[in-house]
Amino acid sequence: MYPPTVIRKIVGVQLPNRPLETLWDLAIEDGKIATISSHDEDPASYDSLPGILEGCGRLVAPSLCHAHIHLDKCFLLQNDKYSDLQIEKGDFQEAMDITAEAKSRFDDHDLMSRGRQLIEESIHYGVTAMRAFVEVDAGVQFKCLDAGMKLKEEFKQRVDIQICAFAQLPLFSGEGGGKQIRSLMSTAAHQHGVDVVGSTPYVEDDEAASKKNVSWLIDLAITADKYIDWHLDYFLELDKKPLIWSVLEILKEKTWMEKSGKQITLGHCTRLTRFQEEEWRQLKDSIGNLPIAFVGLPTSDLFMMRTKEGLRGTLPVMELIDEYSLEAAIAVNNVGNAFTPQGNCDPMSIASLGVGVYQAGTKHATEILYASQTVSSRAKTAIGYTHPTSLELREGEPADLVLYDGADTGWRAGKSIAEIVYDPPRKRQTIWRGKVTGY
Protein backbone atom coordinates (compact mmCIF):
# COMPACT_ATOMS: atom_id res chain seq x y z
CA MET A 1 0.00 0.00 0.00
CA TYR A 2 1.14 3.53 -0.78
CA PRO A 3 2.35 5.17 2.48
CA PRO A 4 0.78 8.62 3.01
CA THR A 5 3.28 11.49 2.78
CA VAL A 6 2.74 14.63 4.85
CA ILE A 7 2.69 17.81 2.74
CA ARG A 8 3.59 21.21 4.18
CA LYS A 9 3.26 23.22 1.01
CA ILE A 10 2.04 22.84 -2.57
CA VAL A 11 3.77 25.28 -4.87
CA GLY A 12 3.12 26.54 -8.38
CA VAL A 13 -0.46 25.41 -9.08
CA GLN A 14 -3.49 26.66 -10.95
CA LEU A 15 -6.63 27.26 -8.85
CA PRO A 16 -10.27 27.13 -9.99
CA ASN A 17 -11.70 30.48 -11.04
CA ARG A 18 -8.36 32.28 -10.69
CA PRO A 19 -6.45 33.97 -13.55
CA LEU A 20 -4.62 31.40 -15.70
CA GLU A 21 -1.53 33.59 -15.89
CA THR A 22 -1.04 33.39 -12.11
CA LEU A 23 0.30 30.40 -10.17
CA TRP A 24 -0.35 29.89 -6.48
CA ASP A 25 1.21 28.34 -3.39
CA LEU A 26 -0.85 26.59 -0.70
CA ALA A 27 0.59 26.19 2.78
CA ILE A 28 -0.87 23.32 4.80
CA GLU A 29 -1.00 23.01 8.59
CA ASP A 30 -2.79 20.37 10.69
CA GLY A 31 -4.44 18.93 7.58
CA LYS A 32 -5.98 22.26 6.56
CA ILE A 33 -5.22 24.98 4.03
CA ALA A 34 -3.37 27.56 6.11
CA THR A 35 -2.58 30.21 3.49
CA ILE A 36 -3.00 30.79 -0.23
CA SER A 37 -0.51 33.16 -1.84
CA SER A 38 0.96 34.07 -5.19
CA HIS A 39 3.64 31.61 -6.26
CA ASP A 40 7.12 32.35 -4.98
CA GLU A 41 9.30 31.67 -8.03
CA ASP A 42 12.53 31.60 -6.02
CA PRO A 43 13.31 27.86 -5.61
CA ALA A 44 15.80 28.68 -2.85
CA SER A 45 12.88 29.57 -0.59
CA TYR A 46 11.56 26.01 -0.52
CA ASP A 47 13.82 23.58 -2.41
CA SER A 48 15.65 22.36 0.68
CA LEU A 49 12.55 22.06 2.87
CA PRO A 50 10.78 18.72 3.49
CA GLY A 51 7.15 18.23 2.56
CA ILE A 52 7.16 20.47 -0.53
CA LEU A 53 5.04 19.28 -3.47
CA GLU A 54 5.89 20.83 -6.84
CA GLY A 55 2.66 21.70 -8.65
CA CYS A 56 4.34 22.38 -12.00
CA GLY A 57 1.39 24.46 -13.17
CA ARG A 58 -1.18 21.72 -12.62
CA LEU A 59 -4.77 22.46 -11.62
CA VAL A 60 -5.62 21.71 -7.98
CA ALA A 61 -9.25 21.28 -6.94
CA PRO A 62 -11.21 19.77 -4.03
CA SER A 63 -10.99 16.00 -3.66
CA LEU A 64 -13.67 13.67 -4.96
CA CYS A 65 -16.41 11.76 -3.17
CA HIS A 66 -18.42 8.60 -3.77
CA ALA A 67 -21.76 9.68 -2.34
CA HIS A 68 -23.17 6.23 -3.17
CA ILE A 69 -21.20 3.12 -4.12
CA HIS A 70 -21.73 -0.61 -3.56
CA LEU A 71 -18.59 -2.15 -2.10
CA ASP A 72 -19.62 -5.80 -2.01
CA LYS A 73 -21.11 -6.14 -5.52
CA CYS A 74 -18.27 -4.56 -7.51
CA PHE A 75 -16.39 -6.25 -10.39
CA LEU A 76 -18.65 -9.31 -10.54
CA LEU A 77 -18.63 -9.28 -14.35
CA GLN A 78 -14.82 -9.15 -14.50
CA ASN A 79 -14.11 -11.82 -11.87
CA ASP A 80 -13.49 -15.41 -12.98
CA LYS A 81 -15.48 -16.72 -10.01
CA TYR A 82 -18.65 -15.31 -11.58
CA SER A 83 -17.80 -15.73 -15.27
CA ASP A 84 -20.92 -17.82 -15.89
CA LEU A 85 -23.21 -15.02 -14.66
CA GLN A 86 -23.54 -12.92 -17.77
CA ILE A 87 -26.19 -10.40 -18.83
CA GLU A 88 -28.74 -11.67 -21.35
CA LYS A 89 -31.82 -9.47 -20.83
CA GLY A 90 -30.38 -6.39 -19.17
CA ASP A 91 -33.41 -5.75 -16.96
CA PHE A 92 -33.83 -5.18 -13.22
CA GLN A 93 -35.15 -8.63 -12.37
CA GLU A 94 -32.24 -10.31 -14.15
CA ALA A 95 -29.81 -8.08 -12.28
CA MET A 96 -31.44 -9.09 -9.00
CA ASP A 97 -31.27 -12.79 -9.96
CA ILE A 98 -27.64 -12.65 -11.11
CA THR A 99 -26.63 -10.76 -7.99
CA ALA A 100 -28.49 -13.21 -5.74
CA GLU A 101 -26.57 -16.11 -7.28
CA ALA A 102 -23.29 -14.22 -6.97
CA LYS A 103 -24.00 -13.45 -3.31
CA SER A 104 -24.44 -17.17 -2.61
CA ARG A 105 -20.76 -17.58 -3.60
CA PHE A 106 -19.36 -14.66 -1.59
CA ASP A 107 -16.56 -15.44 0.84
CA ASP A 108 -14.22 -13.24 2.84
CA HIS A 109 -11.24 -13.50 0.48
CA ASP A 110 -13.39 -12.66 -2.52
CA LEU A 111 -15.10 -9.71 -0.82
CA MET A 112 -11.81 -8.31 0.46
CA SER A 113 -10.09 -8.68 -2.91
CA ARG A 114 -12.80 -6.97 -4.95
CA GLY A 115 -13.48 -4.32 -2.31
CA ARG A 116 -9.79 -3.51 -1.95
CA GLN A 117 -9.51 -3.07 -5.73
CA LEU A 118 -12.44 -0.66 -5.78
CA ILE A 119 -11.00 1.45 -2.96
CA GLU A 120 -7.49 1.53 -4.46
CA GLU A 121 -8.81 2.61 -7.86
CA SER A 122 -11.05 5.22 -6.25
CA ILE A 123 -8.15 6.75 -4.32
CA HIS A 124 -6.13 6.84 -7.54
CA TYR A 125 -8.92 8.88 -9.14
CA GLY A 126 -8.95 11.40 -6.28
CA VAL A 127 -11.57 10.02 -3.87
CA THR A 128 -11.03 10.86 -0.19
CA ALA A 129 -14.54 10.06 1.10
CA MET A 130 -17.10 7.42 0.22
CA ARG A 131 -20.38 5.96 1.44
CA ALA A 132 -20.02 2.22 0.88
CA PHE A 133 -23.13 0.02 0.85
CA VAL A 134 -22.77 -3.56 2.13
CA GLU A 135 -25.73 -5.91 2.10
CA VAL A 136 -27.22 -7.64 5.12
CA ASP A 137 -29.69 -10.49 4.58
CA ALA A 138 -30.42 -14.11 5.49
CA GLY A 139 -28.07 -15.39 2.79
CA VAL A 140 -24.91 -13.38 3.31
CA GLN A 141 -25.64 -12.68 6.99
CA PHE A 142 -22.73 -10.38 8.04
CA LYS A 143 -20.18 -11.49 5.41
CA CYS A 144 -20.36 -8.26 3.43
CA LEU A 145 -20.54 -6.10 6.53
CA ASP A 146 -17.54 -7.78 8.15
CA ALA A 147 -15.45 -7.33 4.98
CA GLY A 148 -16.53 -3.69 4.73
CA MET A 149 -15.53 -3.02 8.32
CA LYS A 150 -12.11 -4.59 7.80
CA LEU A 151 -11.54 -2.56 4.66
CA LYS A 152 -12.58 0.60 6.48
CA GLU A 153 -9.93 -0.11 9.10
CA GLU A 154 -7.31 -1.10 6.52
CA PHE A 155 -7.68 2.15 4.58
CA LYS A 156 -8.32 4.53 7.48
CA GLN A 157 -5.07 6.44 6.83
CA ARG A 158 -5.92 7.04 3.16
CA VAL A 159 -9.68 7.54 2.77
CA ASP A 160 -12.73 8.13 4.94
CA ILE A 161 -15.23 5.29 4.45
CA GLN A 162 -18.79 5.47 5.73
CA ILE A 163 -20.26 1.96 6.02
CA CYS A 164 -23.96 1.62 5.23
CA ALA A 165 -25.63 -1.58 6.47
CA PHE A 166 -28.06 -2.09 3.61
CA ALA A 167 -31.20 -4.22 3.26
CA GLN A 168 -31.66 -4.79 -0.48
CA LEU A 169 -34.38 -7.40 0.18
CA PRO A 170 -37.82 -6.77 1.74
CA LEU A 171 -38.16 -6.06 5.44
CA PHE A 172 -41.92 -6.80 5.59
CA SER A 173 -42.75 -9.01 2.59
CA GLY A 174 -42.00 -12.49 1.28
CA GLU A 175 -41.36 -15.68 3.19
CA GLY A 176 -41.20 -14.98 6.91
CA GLY A 177 -42.23 -11.38 6.39
CA GLY A 178 -38.65 -10.12 6.57
CA LYS A 179 -38.35 -10.92 10.27
CA GLN A 180 -34.84 -12.41 9.99
CA ILE A 181 -33.50 -9.50 7.94
CA ARG A 182 -34.92 -7.02 10.44
CA SER A 183 -33.14 -8.89 13.23
CA LEU A 184 -29.86 -8.89 11.31
CA MET A 185 -30.20 -5.20 10.44
CA SER A 186 -30.87 -4.32 14.08
CA THR A 187 -27.68 -6.08 15.13
CA ALA A 188 -25.68 -4.47 12.30
CA ALA A 189 -26.94 -0.98 13.09
CA HIS A 190 -25.58 -1.13 16.62
CA GLN A 191 -22.10 -2.22 15.58
CA HIS A 192 -19.30 0.25 16.16
CA GLY A 193 -18.08 1.52 12.80
CA VAL A 194 -21.43 1.30 11.01
CA ASP A 195 -22.38 4.85 10.08
CA VAL A 196 -25.57 4.47 8.03
CA VAL A 197 -28.62 2.22 7.69
CA GLY A 198 -30.37 1.81 4.35
CA SER A 199 -33.19 -0.08 2.66
CA THR A 200 -35.19 -0.36 -0.57
CA PRO A 201 -38.89 0.22 0.17
CA TYR A 202 -39.85 -0.33 -3.49
CA VAL A 203 -39.06 -4.07 -3.31
CA GLU A 204 -41.90 -4.67 -0.84
CA ASP A 205 -45.11 -6.36 -2.04
CA ASP A 206 -47.40 -3.36 -1.61
CA GLU A 207 -47.61 0.25 -0.44
CA ALA A 208 -48.50 -0.70 3.13
CA ALA A 209 -45.37 -2.85 3.44
CA SER A 210 -43.26 -0.09 1.85
CA LYS A 211 -44.48 2.37 4.49
CA LYS A 212 -43.69 -0.15 7.24
CA ASN A 213 -40.18 -0.46 5.77
CA VAL A 214 -39.71 3.31 5.97
CA SER A 215 -41.17 3.62 9.47
CA TRP A 216 -39.11 0.75 10.87
CA LEU A 217 -35.84 2.07 9.42
CA ILE A 218 -36.48 5.52 10.90
CA ASP A 219 -36.96 3.98 14.35
CA LEU A 220 -33.79 1.94 13.92
CA ALA A 221 -31.76 4.98 12.83
CA ILE A 222 -32.99 7.02 15.79
CA THR A 223 -32.27 4.24 18.28
CA ALA A 224 -28.80 3.50 16.85
CA ASP A 225 -27.98 7.17 16.09
CA LYS A 226 -27.24 6.56 12.39
CA TYR A 227 -27.73 8.34 9.08
CA ILE A 228 -30.44 7.02 6.73
CA ASP A 229 -29.93 6.27 3.05
CA TRP A 230 -32.91 4.93 1.09
CA HIS A 231 -32.98 3.57 -2.45
CA LEU A 232 -36.34 5.12 -3.30
CA ASP A 233 -38.95 5.21 -6.08
CA TYR A 234 -36.83 3.24 -8.54
CA PHE A 235 -39.32 3.13 -11.40
CA LEU A 236 -40.69 5.45 -14.08
CA GLU A 237 -44.32 4.39 -14.63
CA LEU A 238 -46.86 7.16 -14.04
CA ASP A 239 -49.45 4.71 -12.72
CA LYS A 240 -47.17 3.89 -9.77
CA LYS A 241 -47.43 6.33 -6.89
CA PRO A 242 -44.08 7.68 -5.63
CA LEU A 243 -43.38 6.96 -1.97
CA ILE A 244 -41.49 10.22 -1.38
CA TRP A 245 -44.58 11.95 0.01
CA SER A 246 -45.13 9.18 2.58
CA VAL A 247 -41.44 9.24 3.53
CA LEU A 248 -41.64 12.94 4.35
CA GLU A 249 -44.89 12.51 6.30
CA ILE A 250 -43.51 9.64 8.39
CA LEU A 251 -40.28 11.52 9.14
CA LYS A 252 -42.32 14.43 10.46
CA GLU A 253 -44.68 12.17 12.43
CA LYS A 254 -41.68 10.59 14.11
CA THR A 255 -40.19 14.04 14.83
CA TRP A 256 -36.91 13.29 13.08
CA MET A 257 -35.48 16.76 13.66
CA GLU A 258 -36.03 16.58 17.42
CA LYS A 259 -34.92 12.96 17.88
CA SER A 260 -32.01 12.87 15.41
CA GLY A 261 -31.60 15.63 12.83
CA LYS A 262 -28.98 13.65 10.92
CA GLN A 263 -28.69 13.86 7.14
CA ILE A 264 -31.14 11.73 5.12
CA THR A 265 -30.09 10.67 1.64
CA LEU A 266 -32.43 9.47 -1.11
CA GLY A 267 -30.87 7.55 -4.01
CA HIS A 268 -32.24 6.93 -7.53
CA CYS A 269 -35.76 8.47 -7.18
CA THR A 270 -36.26 8.00 -10.92
CA ARG A 271 -40.06 8.28 -10.63
CA LEU A 272 -39.54 11.91 -9.66
CA THR A 273 -38.25 12.61 -13.18
CA ARG A 274 -41.91 12.57 -14.25
CA PHE A 275 -42.73 15.45 -11.90
CA GLN A 276 -44.02 18.72 -13.31
CA GLU A 277 -42.89 22.09 -11.98
CA GLU A 278 -45.78 22.31 -9.52
CA GLU A 279 -44.85 18.92 -8.01
CA TRP A 280 -41.19 19.95 -7.62
CA ARG A 281 -42.23 23.12 -5.81
CA GLN A 282 -44.62 21.13 -3.64
CA LEU A 283 -41.76 18.75 -2.83
CA LYS A 284 -39.51 21.66 -1.86
CA ASP A 285 -42.22 22.97 0.48
CA SER A 286 -42.91 19.51 1.94
CA ILE A 287 -39.24 18.95 2.74
CA GLY A 288 -39.13 22.15 4.76
CA ASN A 289 -36.28 21.98 7.25
CA LEU A 290 -35.73 18.23 6.94
CA PRO A 291 -32.07 17.52 6.02
CA ILE A 292 -32.90 15.74 2.76
CA ALA A 293 -30.42 15.25 -0.10
CA PHE A 294 -31.02 13.47 -3.40
CA VAL A 295 -28.38 11.40 -5.19
CA GLY A 296 -28.87 10.66 -8.87
CA LEU A 297 -27.15 7.59 -10.26
CA PRO A 298 -27.22 8.13 -14.03
CA THR A 299 -25.11 5.18 -15.21
CA SER A 300 -27.35 2.69 -13.40
CA ASP A 301 -30.58 4.61 -13.98
CA LEU A 302 -30.12 4.96 -17.73
CA PHE A 303 -29.16 1.29 -18.09
CA MET A 304 -31.90 -0.14 -15.84
CA MET A 305 -34.82 2.27 -16.08
CA ARG A 306 -36.97 2.21 -19.20
CA THR A 307 -40.70 2.12 -19.83
CA LYS A 308 -42.46 0.06 -22.50
CA GLU A 309 -42.42 3.20 -24.65
CA GLY A 310 -38.63 3.42 -24.33
CA LEU A 311 -38.59 6.37 -21.93
CA ARG A 312 -35.50 6.57 -19.74
CA GLY A 313 -34.84 8.77 -16.76
CA THR A 314 -32.45 9.88 -14.05
CA LEU A 315 -32.84 12.67 -11.51
CA PRO A 316 -32.54 16.14 -13.10
CA VAL A 317 -29.81 17.12 -10.66
CA MET A 318 -29.02 20.43 -12.32
CA GLU A 319 -32.64 21.58 -12.01
CA LEU A 320 -32.90 20.39 -8.42
CA ILE A 321 -29.91 22.55 -7.52
CA ASP A 322 -30.39 25.58 -9.76
CA GLU A 323 -34.17 25.95 -9.94
CA TYR A 324 -35.44 24.48 -6.68
CA SER A 325 -32.47 24.95 -4.31
CA LEU A 326 -32.59 21.30 -3.25
CA GLU A 327 -29.55 19.42 -2.00
CA ALA A 328 -28.46 17.01 -4.72
CA ALA A 329 -25.48 15.10 -6.06
CA ILE A 330 -24.66 12.38 -8.58
CA ALA A 331 -22.62 9.26 -7.95
CA VAL A 332 -21.17 6.06 -9.42
CA ASN A 333 -23.38 3.49 -7.60
CA ASN A 334 -22.22 0.18 -9.12
CA VAL A 335 -19.05 -0.88 -10.91
CA GLY A 336 -18.89 -3.97 -13.11
CA ASN A 337 -22.10 -5.80 -12.23
CA ALA A 338 -25.47 -6.58 -13.79
CA PHE A 339 -27.00 -3.34 -12.48
CA THR A 340 -24.26 -1.26 -14.15
CA PRO A 341 -21.91 -3.19 -16.44
CA GLN A 342 -20.36 -0.03 -17.93
CA GLY A 343 -18.06 2.50 -16.31
CA ASN A 344 -15.36 2.47 -13.65
CA CYS A 345 -14.52 3.90 -10.20
CA ASP A 346 -13.85 7.43 -11.43
CA PRO A 347 -16.40 9.96 -10.13
CA MET A 348 -15.27 12.39 -12.84
CA SER A 349 -16.64 10.03 -15.48
CA ILE A 350 -20.11 10.66 -14.06
CA ALA A 351 -19.56 14.42 -14.08
CA SER A 352 -18.45 14.16 -17.71
CA LEU A 353 -21.50 12.04 -18.58
CA GLY A 354 -23.62 14.76 -17.00
CA VAL A 355 -22.57 17.24 -19.69
CA GLY A 356 -24.62 15.25 -22.19
CA VAL A 357 -27.35 13.95 -19.89
CA TYR A 358 -28.17 17.42 -18.55
CA GLN A 359 -26.97 19.44 -21.58
CA ALA A 360 -24.62 21.13 -19.15
CA GLY A 361 -21.72 22.50 -21.16
CA THR A 362 -21.42 26.03 -19.81
CA LYS A 363 -18.76 27.10 -17.33
CA HIS A 364 -21.43 27.52 -14.65
CA ALA A 365 -22.96 24.13 -15.39
CA THR A 366 -19.66 22.26 -15.34
CA GLU A 367 -18.83 23.81 -11.98
CA ILE A 368 -22.17 22.56 -10.62
CA LEU A 369 -21.44 19.13 -12.09
CA TYR A 370 -18.04 19.04 -10.45
CA ALA A 371 -19.50 20.18 -7.15
CA SER A 372 -22.56 17.90 -7.30
CA GLN A 373 -20.56 14.87 -8.29
CA THR A 374 -17.25 15.18 -6.58
CA VAL A 375 -16.63 18.24 -4.50
CA SER A 376 -17.29 18.25 -0.77
CA SER A 377 -19.65 21.20 -1.03
CA ARG A 378 -22.39 18.97 -2.48
CA ALA A 379 -21.51 15.28 -2.65
CA LYS A 380 -20.00 15.23 0.83
CA THR A 381 -22.77 17.38 2.25
CA ALA A 382 -25.29 14.94 0.79
CA ILE A 383 -23.90 12.19 3.02
CA GLY A 384 -23.52 14.20 6.18
CA TYR A 385 -20.09 15.86 6.07
CA THR A 386 -19.94 19.37 7.51
CA HIS A 387 -17.56 22.23 6.62
CA PRO A 388 -15.96 20.42 3.67
CA THR A 389 -13.55 21.81 1.09
CA SER A 390 -15.28 24.15 -1.35
CA LEU A 391 -14.58 24.82 -5.00
CA GLU A 392 -13.24 28.22 -3.95
CA LEU A 393 -10.48 26.58 -1.84
CA ARG A 394 -10.58 28.89 1.15
CA GLU A 395 -8.03 29.20 3.92
CA GLY A 396 -9.04 27.10 6.91
CA GLU A 397 -10.77 24.43 4.83
CA PRO A 398 -9.60 20.80 4.85
CA ALA A 399 -6.59 20.10 2.62
CA ASP A 400 -8.57 17.44 0.70
CA LEU A 401 -7.35 18.00 -2.83
CA VAL A 402 -6.63 16.56 -6.25
CA LEU A 403 -3.87 17.67 -8.62
CA TYR A 404 -4.89 16.94 -12.20
CA ASP A 405 -2.58 15.78 -15.01
CA GLY A 406 1.14 15.20 -14.83
CA ALA A 407 3.97 17.69 -14.99
CA ASP A 408 4.72 16.50 -18.54
CA THR A 409 1.19 16.94 -19.97
CA GLY A 410 1.93 20.30 -21.61
CA TRP A 411 -0.81 22.15 -23.46
CA ARG A 412 -3.18 19.17 -23.04
CA ALA A 413 -3.31 19.75 -19.29
CA GLY A 414 -6.71 20.71 -17.92
CA LYS A 415 -6.47 24.30 -16.69
CA SER A 416 -10.08 24.84 -15.59
CA ILE A 417 -12.97 22.92 -14.05
CA ALA A 418 -14.78 22.96 -17.39
CA GLU A 419 -11.81 21.33 -19.14
CA ILE A 420 -11.45 18.50 -16.63
CA VAL A 421 -15.22 17.83 -16.70
CA TYR A 422 -15.24 17.71 -20.51
CA ASP A 423 -12.24 15.37 -20.62
CA PRO A 424 -11.22 13.99 -17.20
CA PRO A 425 -7.41 13.64 -16.98
CA ARG A 426 -6.06 10.16 -16.31
CA LYS A 427 -3.10 11.36 -14.25
CA ARG A 428 -3.96 12.60 -10.76
CA GLN A 429 -2.42 13.05 -7.35
CA THR A 430 -4.66 12.67 -4.30
CA ILE A 431 -4.23 14.57 -1.03
CA TRP A 432 -6.35 13.86 2.05
CA ARG A 433 -5.95 15.79 5.30
CA GLY A 434 -2.70 17.23 3.99
CA LYS A 435 -1.18 13.86 3.08
CA VAL A 436 -0.51 12.41 -0.36
CA THR A 437 -2.52 9.19 -0.40
CA GLY A 438 -2.38 8.09 -4.02
CA TYR A 439 -1.34 8.64 -7.62
Alpha carbon 141 to chain centroid, angstroms: 24
Q: What is the pLDDT, as a whole number, of residue 133?
A: 98
Specify whether 57 is located in the same domain as 69. Answer: no
Domain co-membership, 414 together with 340: no
pLDDT, position 407 = 66
Nearest to 404 by CA among 8, 14, 10, 4: 14
pLDDT of residue 66: 96
What was the pLDDT predicted at 40? 86
Strand order in the sheet with 264-268: 64-70, 127-135, 160-167, 194-199, 227-232, 264-268, 292-296, 327-330
Checking DSSP bridges between strand 32-38 and strand 24-29, what pairing results, if any? antiparallel
Question: pTM of the full predicted structure?
Answer: 0.94
Reported as type and span, the H/E element at residue 417 is helix 417-422
- Looking at the fold, whether 96 and 234 belong to one and the same domain comes out as yes
Predicted local confidence at residue 42, as pLDDT: 77
* Pair (275, 177) in one structural domain: yes
Residue 107: CATH number of its domain: 3.20.20.140
Do residues 303 and 404 both lie within one domain? no
Determine if residue 255 is left, alpha or beta; phi over 0 gives left, psi from -120 to 50 gives alpha, anything else beta. Answer: left
Provide the 3-class DSSP secondary structure of residue 89: coil
131 plus 265 within the same structural domain: yes
Query: 398 and 266, same structural domain?
Result: no
- Tell me, yes or no, whether 47 and 153 share the same domain: no
Give, in order, the Cα–Cα distances in Å from 348 to each of 36, 233, 330, 344. 25, 26, 10, 10
The pLDDT of residue 204:
96
Structural domain span for residue 24: 5-62+391-438
Alpha helices in 33-155 (DSSP H): 92-103, 108-125, 143-154
Check whether residue 369 and residue 353 sit in a common domain.
yes
The pLDDT, as a whole number, for residue 400 is 96
Residues 405 and 372 grouped into a single domain = no
Cα dihedral 261, 263, 268, 273 in deg (nearest 10): 70
Q: Are residues 56 and 89 in the same domain?
A: no
- Name the domain count of the chain: 2
Give the per-residue pLDDT at 309: 84
The last residue of one of the domains, among 358, 382, 406, is: 382
Q: Give me the pLDDT at residue 378, please.
A: 86
CATH code for position 12: 2.30.40.10
Report the pLDDT value the prediction gives residue 47, as an integer from 0 to 100: 64
pLDDT string in tens for the chain (439-residue length): 456 789 999 999 999 988 888 999 999 999 999 999 999 887 776 666 788 999 989 999 999 999 999 999 999 999 999 999 999 998 889 999 999 999 999 999 999 999 999 999 999 999 999 999 999 999 999 999 999 999 999 999 999 999 999 999 999 998 888 999 999 999 999 999 999 999 999 999 999 999 999 999 999 999 999 999 999 999 999 999 999 999 999 999 999 999 999 999 999 999 999 999 999 999 999 999 999 999 999 999 999 888 888 888 999 999 999 899 999 999 999 999 999 999 999 999 999 999 999 988 898 899 888 876 544 578 999 999 988 899 999 999 999 999 998 767 777 888 899 999 999 999 999 999 999 999 8
* Residue burial 264-297, b: 16+ Cβ < 10 Å; e: rest: bbbbbbbbbbbbeeeebeebeeebeeebbbbbbb
- Do 51 and 72 lie in a common domain? no
